[in-house]
């Protein structure tokens, strides 16, 4: 099965103190996983920018991305024309602010023909999900 991940799943897979760590880490053991490269930046930002208690050293995050995520997750990105088309869709459908990043995860999942897009934030995707899109699934 081809599936896509957003950064919420990657963060939870890497942090054993996350509520759904076990489920997200187990998901990483499956074949056919994809993510946008931007999910790496979102993961780095989330893990290094948290509260002092929750902040992870940048070196540790980079090591985890290189050793745990990249060997298991194929990166898929959009070319500039695909970005512009997706942003046109955002403009036409009223998708604004940070929601565009989630929408771009969904567009990339469509591009690869993913059957599922895994996220811990299902409600973030409900407003712009349409028939034929990958199923939005909580791990």
Model pLDDT for residues 37-93, shown as the tens digit of each residue: 999 999 999 999 976 568 899 999 999 999 999 999 999 999 999 999 999 999 999
H/E element holding 60?
helix 58-64
Mean pLDDT along residues 6-14: 96
Could you tell me the residue range of the domain that residue 119 belongs to? 3-137
What SS3 class is residue 76? coil
Assign residue 89 the CATH number of its domain.
3.40.50.1010
pLDDT value for 48: 95
pTM of the complete model: 0.93
- Percentage, residues of the chain above pLDDT 70: 98
pLDDT value for 53: 66
Alpha-carbon distance 112 to 15, whole Å?
A: 27
pLDDT value for 126: 87
Mean pLDDT along residues 20-40: 96
Q: Is the pLDDT of residue 25 over 70?
A: yes
Number of domains forming the structure of the chain:
1
Exposure string for 34-47, b = 16+ CB within 10 A, e = fewer: bbbebbbebbbebb
Alpha-carbon distance 59 to 28, whole Å?
A: 21
Q: Is the pLDDT of residue 120 over 90?
A: yes
């Amino acid at each position: 099965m081809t599936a896509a991940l957003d950064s919420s799943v990657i963060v939870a897979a890497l942090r054993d103190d996350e509520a759904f760590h076990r489920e997200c880490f187990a998901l990483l053991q499956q074949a056919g996983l994809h993510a946008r490269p931007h999910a790496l930046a979102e993961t780095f930002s989330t893990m290094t920018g948290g509260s002092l208690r929750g902040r992870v050293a940048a070196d540790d995050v980079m090591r985890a991305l290189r050793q745990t995520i990249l060997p298991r997750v194929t990166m898929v990105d959009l070319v500039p024309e695909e970005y512009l088309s997706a942003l046109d869709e955002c403009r036409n459908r009223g998708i604004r602010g940070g929601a565009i990043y989630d929408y771009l995860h969904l567009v990339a999942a469509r591009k690869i023909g993913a059957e599922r897009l895994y996220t811990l934030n299902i409600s973030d995707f409900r407003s712009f999900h349409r028939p034929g899109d990958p199923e939005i699934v909580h791990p």
